[in-house]
Structure formats: structure tokens, C-alpha cells
Structure 1
């Protein structure tokens, strides 16, 4: 598991999260094991360590194959689309689905119980599946409160990728490396005040690790938006 934390001047123990090197340094830096924000985060108290987390190897290779094959079979008659209704996704297939095989349902039920997820969250029965072509990508966006509450989370199948977060009003950028079979979770200010995107093609993470994104299937969990989130996060 990795977590966002403020620890300027200290390199991450595992390089899954990164502040982008192409912009000036901000008050946010990344480590992977800290459980609380350090004192260097005092200038940005609204972003918490627990707002962005990534857990690796949450499913086995066999489970990945079963789930990805089932998604691909359901979507096989659909063509990759060039444009999304909100102009966010390019070269994709998608669906919302609540009926799954016993094997896939078992995997999804286990994902809903991962310790990086907030406790007491009631998720929609249907999950959101996006099959992103090798040359597809997801543009910067903030998920609408019509479709998500305080949590946006998902498992990444078939390909590693880099998810980039940009502060809507500011220069802060955070890159999160999402390996195959990893699970990410965003909530709080990161969820509402940072855009996120899936970068296309070949990228270099932290100026040293090549990341080749191929066809990617993601399965996302969402909860219902409640009015009290407005006062807490917005």
C-alpha cells in the first residue's frame, strides 16, 4: 500500500507516487509508508495522507485473467468509441454491470473490503467498467457528483499506467503509478479539487522508469453522493 504524505527532502521508499518533475516543487511530496502528514504539510492542511492510496497485487494473475476475460466477452460486440458523452475518454468501451459470474463476484466483493477503502461506505451494486484501447486515453476531469460520492476507486487490469492528478486552481501535480492488478482509491480534496487522467502511450515515471501502457481494463467502485459531503469537502 502507498499513501500520499508531505515529506519534502526525503525520497519515497517505493516509487509508486511522484510529484511531477516538470513543474516547480510544491508543498506536497510523496512517500509510501507514512500514516500521518508530517509538519511540512502544515501549509496545505486540507489534503490528507489518506486522500490517495494505491495497493499492489490485490488480485492474482489467474483472477485478473478471469475478470478481464469476462469483461472482454461482454463487450466484444462493441467497437471502441472515439468520443465520450462528456468528451473525457478517447478509444474506449464501457459498461455498468451488477451481474457477474461467481468467480468475478467473489473478486469484486473482496475488493470492496480492502483496508485502503474508508469504512462504512455503501457502494452502488453496479460497477463501472472501462476497456481502454492501447492508443486510448482519459483526459483530465473531476468525476461528477451525479455518479460518485466521496470515493472513486478501481482495479487496473492488463496494463500498468500512470494516473496524473492536477490541482484545479494551482500548479500542484501528482503522478501515481498503477501497476497491473493494483487498486487505487481517491477521496477528500484529491477527489473533488484535483483533476485526474490516464496518460497515453509510453511514459517515464520519475525520470527513470519507463511505463508502457497497452490495452487497459479498469473496474471502478463508486458510492452515492450525499449532501453532507458539500460541507466537508467542497
Structure 2
């Protein structure tokens, strides 16, 4: 099981070489990916990065802060439907400790310069996130997040091709996208009940995600043959 291996690797404080690369992870369905340019390290998933108790600590603090806000019907860039969100850098001592530890998850690349604030998205049970590529001008080479309260399926679609990758994200799981998947694939959170690998249903309910991003650096775009000018 991915989560068991992940916990052991984290406890041993050793670098992860291949255990969580997407081609070898049961949580990732790459059967419809024909893209030869995608590297195994471009998408990683790790289970149980926090405990159930830690999940509740973080989720309850987020809900307390956001409780007076209504779920918005549409995002400013028309990507998210029925959501609340915030960027926040001030947290309780316990939540800060948990978030600091997330930045040390072994599937993250080394030496990242993180934004000081984390991005929180509270997605209603009947909300969803449409296909999009995160801004390449204002954030760096990594988009990563931990899923709280609900399992979900995140779908990645090649922007200029037909490849599709589905990732099953259980509660308390952590995903990292970088490289070609970060820059050349859209990602979305599917609504309602979905079936993963034609094997089992995934009933997505209210979901809180805690997003980590690193600072923009021009050389990251150059490595992907992306020109902003």
C-alpha cells in the first residue's frame, strides 16, 4: 500500500527515489496516457501524510476562519464553482507545526522557496474545479496539496494532445505535480460520485485542500521550453 510505504520512508527520513512515481502508484490511472514526454517524477501521490487528529485540527481551523463566508458560485477566473478560499500565513501553533511538516514531505523536490502563505480551498459537496493550468507567471514549478475531509479524483488532461491521467486522492493524501504535468496538463477536481479505474466509486463530499506553491523562477519555464514574451 502506498500509504504504508510513505509512512515508513518519512519515518526513516530517507529520500524517495521511485516509490511514489506515478507509473508505480496504485492511486494513479495512467492507462490513457500516451505522452512519451511525461516523466515518472512529474506526478507523485503519497497517502496518510498526516493523522486523522491532525486532519481535524487543520480542517476545523480553516472552517472557523471561513464560516461567515458564503460559498461563491464562480471564481474570478471561472475555474472553481461553489467554493470558499483564502490565502493565509498566520495559524495556530499546532496547525503551523503540521503545515511546516508538510513542506518536508519526501515526495517534494528539494530546495524550494515557498510562498509564505498557503492557499486554502473549501469546496462544497456539489462544487467542482474545472480544467485549468495554474498561473505560470506568479507561481513556480510545483503545485502540491493535501486533501482534507473527502476523497476525490483529480484528472489531468494534456493541453495539446489526448493523454489523460486520473489520480485517486484519499483523505489525508498529498499530491505533487511538476515538470510537464504542471505546465502542459490541465487539472480538475471531478464532481459528485466518480468511478476510479472502473473498479470502485469515489463519493466526493465537502473537501478542503491546503495548497503549497513555490516562488516563480524564469529558469523553470525555460526548462519546459515556455517563452513568456
Question: Please, what TM-score do these two structures have when normalized by structure 1?
Answer: 0.86
Aligned to 1:35: none
SS class of match (2:21) = strand
C-alpha separation in 1, matches of 2:135 and 2:34:
27
Q: CA deviation at 1:26?
A: 4.3
SS class of match (2:41) = helix
Task: Give unpaired runs (5+ residues) of structure 2.
Answer: 3-19
SS class of match (1:135) = strand
Aligned to 2:164: 173
SS class of match (1:118) = coil
The alignment's C-alpha RMSD in Å is: 1.2
C-alpha separation in 2, matches of 1:70 and 1:27:
42
Could you tell me which of 152, 157, 161 is aligned with 2:143?
152
Aligned to 2:116: 125
Q: CA deviation at 1:48?
A: 1.0
Aligned residues: 207
Higher helix share: 2
Question: Please, what TM-score do these two structures have when normalized by structure 2?
Answer: 0.87
Structure 1 outlier segments of 4+, above 6 Å = none
SS class of match (1:62) = helix
Aligned to 1:40: none
Matches of residues 57-76 of structure 1 in structure 2 within 5 Å?
Answer: 57-76=48-67
Could you tell me which of 177, 181, 184 is aligned with 1:190?
181
Aligned to 1:27: 34
Matched, 1:142 2:133: yes
Task: Give unpaired runs (5+ residues) of structure 1.
Answer: 6-11, 29-43
Could you tell me which of 99, 106, 111 is aligned with 2:97?
106
C-alpha separation in 2, matches of 1:76 and 1:142:
28
Aligned to 1:33: none
